[in-house]
Amino acid sequence: MKQNKELLKLEKVGSELYRVFFAENNVYLGEFLREVDGYFYFYPNWNNGGCIASYILRSLSDKLDELNKEWDETIDRYFNQQKKHECKFTPGNANCPKCGKTQGESMEEFAAELLMSPLLKN
C-alpha cells in the first residue's frame, strides 16, 4: 500500500477551495470545498469515470480530517465553554436564572465567536 502523504497533491485556490490531484499522474480527482457549516467536503470529479480504490479514499478522508481539524477544535472549544455554564431557558422564562442572558444573546455570542474565527478569514 502507498503512503497517504504522497498520494494527493492539493492546489489551494483560496481559503475556501482546494483542487485535489492524484500525485502519481496528476489526474484531477475533485475539490475540497468549505461549506456554510465551516467544514470542508470532497466533491469528486465524475468526468474521470472509473472507480476509486480504498487507499485513495482513505487518503482523501485523512486529508479532510486534517483540513477540518482546526474548525473541529473551534467548535469543541465553544461547547466545552458552554458546559461550564449552560444557560437554562424554559417556557415563560426568557432569561437564564444563573447569568441573566436571553436566549438570543447566548446565540449571538456563539455566532460572533464563529465569525471571528481565523478559519473563516481569507
User: pLDDT tens digits, the chain, 122 residues: what are they?
Assistant: 444 457 999 999 999 999 999 999 999 999 999 999 999 999 999 887 888 889 999 999 999 999 999 999 988 887 777 666 666 666 666 677 667 676 666 666 666 666 666 655 55
List the chain domain ranges. 1-68, 85-122
| 3-state DSSP percent of the chain in helix, strand and coil, to 5 | 45, 25, 35
Q: Which residues pair with 18 in a beta bridge?
A: 12, 32
What is the 3-class SS of 62-83, one letter each residue?
HHHHHHHHHHHHHHHHHHHHHH
